[in-house]
Amino acid sequence: MRMKDSCTISRNERKKIRDGYKRTRDAMSESLVQELSLKISSNVLEWEPYRQAETIFFYYPLGKEVSLLYVMQDALRHGKRIAFPKTTGDAMDFYEITDLDRLKEGSFHVMEPESRGKKAVSCNPDLCFVPGIAFDHAGGRFGYGRGYYDRYFADPLRQAATTRIGCAYECQISENLPVSDWDVRMDYLLTEKGIVKRKDDEKQFQILSGEN
């Protein structure tokens, strides 16, 4: 479904769109979530940019978000440097971990890394997997409305240095979301059907792996 332009849509309308996609996702059965998450993880493991990546930012799945736990485990086995987000107030930073069991429940019931006595990762990652409620085919994203990823990637240099991958099921994909200018767009979209890259000149995505 084609959405209204972001300039003509109210905050309440944006919330209705976000809530609708969240209800659709949350209505999925646990078995389907596991099945599709495995397919999505397989797409990542076969993706050359992942194989070449040395530093990767992940997120820990909350509720029925896409789970990339198998990818995280694979990354650790292959000696990749991985980090997870931790929020403090309006700020978000990423902290490196070497053991998934060291994550603890933090803000908004999200599993987070321990930050006490540790410095946040200062370098830009090769890849950053980003969760969301809905995405569109121009890289637009609706998150949970708190703006953490938009603020984190507000720096143009950080944006340019990091490949951002939106993670979702096909039922979360919109033709056109009413995103704002300050909403950070994704470079790739990852679903059970494959990994697709935004093509700015055509406002389309090119299928790179997975199903055609």
Token digits for 30?
């646990």
Q: Rounded to an integer, what distance in angstroms lies between the CA atom of residue 108 and that of residue 203?
A: 34
| Of residues 55, 47, 209, the one with CA closest to residue 128 | 55
pLDDT digits (tens, 9 = 90+) for 5-18: 444 577 888 889 99
Bridge-partner residues for 129, per DSSP?
A: 165
Token digits for 77?
């086995």
Q: Residue 11: which residues within 8 A CB-CB, separation 6 or more?
A: none
pLDDT digits (tens, 9 = 90+) for 165-189: 999 999 999 988 988 878 899 999 9
Q: Rounded to an integer, what distance in angstroms lies between the CA atom of residue 30 and that of residue 22?
A: 15
Token digits for 98?
């070497």
What percent of the chain is modeled with pLDDT above 90? Answer: 75
